Every structure is written in C-alpha cells, then in structure tokens.
Structure 1
Amino acid sequence: MDEIVFFDTLREGLWVAVTVSLPILTAALLSGVTVGLFQALTSIQEMTLTFVPKLLAIVVVFWMSMGFMLQTLLSFFTGRIVPLASGG
C-alpha cells in the first residue's frame, strides 16, 4: 500500500469518526450547558441532575441518528476499505 493511499484513508477515517460522533457530542454539550445554567440560576447542586438529563439526551440522539451513523460507516467501509483489502 502506498503511503499516500494510507494517509488519505486515515484522514478520511478520522473525518468519518468526527462526522459520526458529532450529533452525540452536540447533544451532550447542549444538555450539559442547559443543566449547568439551570443549576447556577437555582443554586441546586445535585449530582444526578447533571448526569441523568445528559444521559437521556445522548440516548435519544443516538437512537435518532443510528441510521445516519450506520449509513456513513457502511459507505466508508464499502467505498474505501473493502477495495483496499481486495487489492483494487
């Protein structure tokens, strides 16, 4: 395998990883900021108040974006990895 092909595949794989993880990370960020703002405004310092809404937001967003994630990963592997493995 040529170095250029290797590094280009690695770059594309990292971009796919960022693309796939972006919805979940965005949900965690937004729910964390919202709960943190709520805690700062009300002076409620409960640990489960930060954990449970963030976990629920992550699970909901993961469930909603599973199709997108699967399609992105499948297209990367069938379009990029499988041709390299088969020698094409």
Structure 2
Amino acid sequence: MTEGELLDLLREALWAALIVALPVLAVALTIGLVIGLLQALTSIQEMTLTFVPKLAGILAVFWITMDFSGRVLLVFWDKSVLPAIAGS
C-alpha cells in the first residue's frame, strides 16, 4: 500500500465518520440551542433540563438512522478496507 492509497483510505474513513455522526450531532446542537434559549428567556438554570432532552433526542435519532449508518459503514468496509487488506 502506497502513501497515496493510505491517505485516500483515511480520507474516506473520515468522510464516512462525518456522514454517520452528522445527524446525531445536528440534533444535539439543535436541542441544545433551543433549551439554551428557553433557559435564557425564563431564567431557569437547571443542568438536567439540557441533559435529558438532549439524551432523548440523540437516542431517537440514533435509533432512526441506525440502518443508514450501518449501510454507510458496510459500504466503506466492503469498498475500501477489505480491498486494502487484500492488497488489490
């Protein structure tokens, strides 16, 4: 495996990780912003108020996107990692 092939494999791995993580991170950011705005408007400074809805949202989105994420990782494994291991 040449240095260029390794860099291409790493680039594809980072891209797959970004695609898999993006829905969960976007929901966490959105819920965090909404709860933060709600806390600023109402002056309620409860730490669990941000944690519980964010956790519930992350779990829901993770559950919904599990099939998509699994397919992205499987395609990455089949198209990039296995051929690199086999040396083709």
TM-score higher than 0.5: yes
Greater relative contact order structure (CA < 8 Å, 6+ sep):
2
Matching residue of 1:29: 29
Matching residue of 1:73: 73
Which aligned segments of 4 or more residues in structure 1 are displaced greater than 6 angstroms?
none
- Counting matched residue pairs gives 88
Counterpart AA for 1:33: L
TM-score (ref. length: structure 2): 0.97
Which whole-Å CA distance do the structure 1 matches of 2:62 and 2:40 have between them?
Answer: 28
Matching residue of 1:6: 6
- RMSD (Å) for aligned C-alpha atoms: 0.6
In structure 1, stretches of 5+ residues that fail to align are none
Counterpart AA for 2:51: F
In structure 2, stretches of 5+ residues that fail to align are none
